[in-house]
Structure 1
Amino acid sequence: MSEFDNVTAPPPPAAGDAPQDQRTMALLGHLLGIITGPIGALIIWLVSKDDASKGFVVDQSKEALNFQITVFIAIVISWILAFVLIGLLLMPLVGIANLVLCIIAGIKANNGESYRYPFALRLIK
């Protein structure tokens, strides 16, 4: 038996492990990013971060907050690049990616699954 036999990654959380109220709050954290940017996820994270029983909400609101910060940075860079005209192409792409990925994340969170955005700066740990 090698030393790596007992070292495995923790299993992903099974669908439906989180209570319904936490799944709803996580859904809101992801979907509010479409309308409010990072503010909605920030408020949900600040309200829930000290409550140990809301681990799913804290995890998903941090993920949504990190993604919305990444989207904000991408929009700022697109505005700067708009003077070179490439930013005019990037802004709609960033907006569409934000919309699609937030909807996917909201659906996964509502099913009780932890969702990780494919590209996001992990600034809040």
Structure 2
Amino acid sequence: MEIISQTGKRIDNQLLVLTHLSQLLTYVTGFGGLLVPLVLWLTQKDTVEGMNEHGKSIVNFQLSLLLYVFISIPAIFLLGLGILMLLGIGVLGFVMPIVNAIKATRGEKISYFMTIKFI
């Protein structure tokens, strides 16, 4: 049974959770952590309640992580601080999608730590 909200969009928390967890594809395949959520967001933002907000947050988070990685690579030569930054980025990129997938399951407001709003 499909639940339709007052705005005419369907409520699909499982798809929102899948969108958050699809970011972990980067750790499995080496890519796809930005591409798959981007495709899900662009194709479902007009039909699923909350997908626009969740999709923008995910894309902004992934772009922020990418920017932080590019900044940390030259910082490796500065006393090795870039290595610590890369470790922090790796942990943050793994933990935050899981935390926000749990929040999406419960219907709570999501938040990604250290995200720059590009979109």
- TM-score of the two chains, using structure 1 as the length reference: 0.74
Q: CA deviation at 1:100?
A: 1.1
RMSD of the TM alignment (CA)?
1.6
Counterpart of 1:116, as a letter, is S
Q: Aligned residues, how many?
A: 103
Larger radius of gyration: 1
Q: Structure 2 length as normaliser, TM-score? A: 0.77
1:99 to 86, 94, 116: 94
User: Tell me, which stretches of 5 or more residues in structure 2 are unaligned?
Assistant: 1-9, 26-31
- 1:4-19 aligned at under 5 Å gives the runs 19=11
Are 1:62 and 2:62 counterparts? no
SS in 1 for 2:48: helix
Identity across matched positions, percent: 27
Q: CA deviation at 1:78?
A: 1.3
Long gaps (5+) in structure 1: 1-17
- Structure 2 counterpart of 1:73, from 59, 67, 77: 67
State the shift of 1:86 in Å.
1.0
Displacement of 1:58: 1.9
- Higher relative contact order (CA closer than 8 Å, sequence separation 6+): 1
Residue 26 (structure 1) aligns with: 16
1:53-111 deviation line (CA, Å, top 9, x unaligned): 41312211111111111111111111121222211111011110111111100111122
Indicate the residue corresponding to 1:43 in structure 2. Answer: 39
